[in-house]
Copies of this chain bind each other. A is one copy, B any other.
Amino acid sequence: MNAEDSGMEELATEKEAEESHRQDSVNLLTFILLLTLTILTIWLFKHRRVRFLHETGLAMIYGLLVGVILRYGIPSTSYHHKTPPSCSLKEGPVSTLLLNVSGKFFEYTLKGEINSHEIHNVEQNDMLRKVTFDPEVFFNILLPPIIFHAGYSLKKRHFFRNLGSIITYAFLGTAISCFVIGNLMYGVVKLMQAIGQLTDKFYYTDCLFFGAVISATDPVTVLAIFNELHADADLYALLFGESVMNDAVAIVLSSSIVAYQPSGANTHTFDAAAFFKSVGVFLGIFSGSFAMGAVTGVGTALISFQFPFTKLHCFPLLETALFFLMSWSTFLLAEACGFTGVVAVLFCGITQAHYTHNNLSEESTKRTKQLFEVLHFLAENFIFSYMGLALFTFQNHVFSPIFILGAFLAIFIGRACNIYPLSFLLNLGRRHKIRGNIQHMMMFAGLRGAMAFALAIRDTATYARQMMFTTTLLIVFFTVWVFGGGTTPMLSWLHIRVGVDPDQDLQQCGDSFQVLQGDGAQGEGLSKTKQESAWLFRLWYTFDHNYLKPMLTHSGPPLTTTLPACCGPLARCLTSPQAYENQEPIPDNDSDLILNDGDLTLSYGDTAITANGASGVGGADGTSRTAGGAPRWSLNGRRSGSTSEEALERELDTRDQDLISRGTRLVFPIEDHA
């Protein structure tokens, strides 16, 4: 190899690197332009009040179009047309391979198996493959903000009111759905084997895995419409709570099913030991992740805000960055420990919203919320446009009409076995029954979305997994477009009351775009469901109010008054100086747990419509609700000066009041006293 050769070779390598860099830029650019296009169209839709297509559905359509163009429209642009050299080994594929070129060693990493008929267009497919990028990105980068935002923006009042039902649907329901779908699909697979439609292995565990993957619902489209129409708040809470929790359940279920690997030759038949191992793994992973999320959330509150120098609020940028990093590190820490990051980050989000959020400066509160909103929005739309793209650019699709048809049937049956029996059981215990039309709506709102996709794309190595991936993709498309688009007709067909839509044309900006922000306070019987879990509530509430809040935030009574005398020194050390100032009456931001009015007003402040809309309806009644008549509203719209006891009492008082008095109660104090 003389100097000239080496120079030319360097040049060639440089050119190739440049070409590859350009290709990378083009790929990223494709996605960015897709997102831009989506945003511009959503904006148009919002402006025209088009409700039949949500932005996620739109993102998928654009993704599909671009996928078609990439696949069929662009001539193969490979820069050198030779088939890459190959070498033979007897061993199975290894992750790292060394290449010896005249004494120099080069390292190669495994990219994946390719079909023998595709060897000659490896280079041609390079672009398509590059667009189809690493599933790790979905898990480590795109999912955390989406899940965290779900936890962070969860409306605590309705969530906690319906906690029992939500947990039932999410845990029991998802497990039922998973097993029903798994078994039905096993039947389909057997049928396919019988008629010779199956060309490779497909085990029972694969079917169960599919059941777990496809049981993760994601009714983001439906919820956006609910939010806009101010549909029944309990329905909203049930659906949102269920979808948030069942993502967590589905991901842990799927890992447990993967862990259900019977050892020895006797593979893939039922094995009691392995089954119980799976159940153990499920419980272990779930509780571990839950604990990790909660602990990190509490830890953030504790570490950053019990420091002797709590001037962090002077640096909102630092605060925001810290908050962001801590939340993300929860996810990664859980993944690194073998737990499930999604579950951890979800509970971290809930904890952060409850404790840390209160400690942030007003500026940071807004910043943080907006930052996560933007991240959530971008990540979600990115995933959905990627899904559209993947249908055409992904290389290893296995389309099997029977399997797909079977899967569509199975998910309906699975969803029905989840909703109807559990609703019946729940109604036995609930004071405020889940009515038939609500059940039908929950059945209808079982869309599949980002989580199902992310779980399915995670492993597409085997034939069975590839078939599942393709099927999942089609199910997501179908449910988002058809069910998402049919939400508004379905609501009116089922006679589900939607709130009074405030006269939006009076305001310059009719819609707020904070998808999961608005609370939807309308709908009757808001508080009727409270009693069912009140005993659990009171216990937790007292503990939280007396011990956790004072320790982790600057609100609540000082620990010195709530802890027994023997813990005096510890209590003094853990109580922040500010807590003493507000000793009597105890200031209380907690009412959100029970009453959550402050929270509501905050979200009203954001959307800036509903409050006005409601204020014209029941004024006198509203004013009479401001118990005591004193100005109760602090500058940032939070309720201050009411004790938790008052809050509880008022809660009991207003239990049977309908929404309008509630709506005005929120608004009038501002108008009266400001």
Contact = CB atoms under 8 A, between A and B. Distances in A.
Given A4-B265, A318-B42, A107 B122 contact: yes
A66 interface: no
Nearest to A462: B10
Given A29-B329, A92-B101, A371-B370, A111 B107 contact: yes
A455 to B, nearest CB: 13
A462 B102 CA distance: 18
Interface string A4-20: 10010111011011001
B106 A99 contact: no
Given A88-B87, A329-B36, A511-B315, A4 B267 contact: yes
A107 B98 contact: no
Interface string A327-344: 011001101101001000
Contacts of A17: 459
Given A99-B93, A510-B314, A32 B325 contact: yes
Given A87-B87, A93-B101, A112-B106, A267 B36 contact: no
A95 B17 CA distance: 10
Interface string A94-114: 111111111111111111111
A505 to B, nearest CB: 12
Contacts of A96: 84, 122-123
Contact of A14 (B91, B114, B115, B258): B258
B14 A309 contact: no
Interface string A62-100: 000000000000000000000111111111111111111
A43 B318 CA distance: 7
How many chain copies does the complex carry? 2
Contact of A25 (B21, B324, B336): B336
Contact of A94 (B36, B85, B461): B85
Given A97-B85, A107-B112, A122-B98, A336 B22 contact: yes
Given A24-B140, A107-B112, A374 B89 contact: no
Contacts of A42: 318
Nearest to A378: B321
A94 B84 contact: yes
Contacts of A102: 90
A20 B136 CA distance: 10
A317 B373 contact: yes
A89 B99 contact: yes
A123 B94 CA distance: 12
A610 to B, nearest CB: 15
Interface string A503-514: 000001111011
A322 B33 CA distance: 10
Contacts of A83: 98
A116 interface: yes
Nearest to A334: B25
A76 B25 CA distance: 36
Contacts of A459: 14, 17
B98 A105 contact: no
Interface in A325-379: 325-326, 328-329, 332-333, 335-336, 338, 341, 367, 370-371, 373-374, 377-378
Contact of A325 (B10, B35, B321, B514): B35
Contacts of A195: none
A118 to B, nearest CB: 8
A379 to B, nearest CB: 11
A4 B36 CA distance: 50
A371 B316 CA distance: 12
A533 interface: no
B86 A98 contact: yes
A497 interface: no
A99 B87 CA distance: 5
A106 B98 contact: no
Q: From A36, A91, A110, name the one whose CB has the most chain B CB atoms within 10 angstroms.
A: A36
A115 B107 CA distance: 10
B84 A98 contact: yes
A46 interface: yes
9 contacts: A32-B325, A86-B98, A87-B100, A98-B119, A104-B116, A107-B112, A108-B108, A325-B378, A371-B371
Q: Return the 4 tightest CB-CB contacts between A and B, nearest first.
A: A314-B509, A86-B98, A108-B108, A25-B335
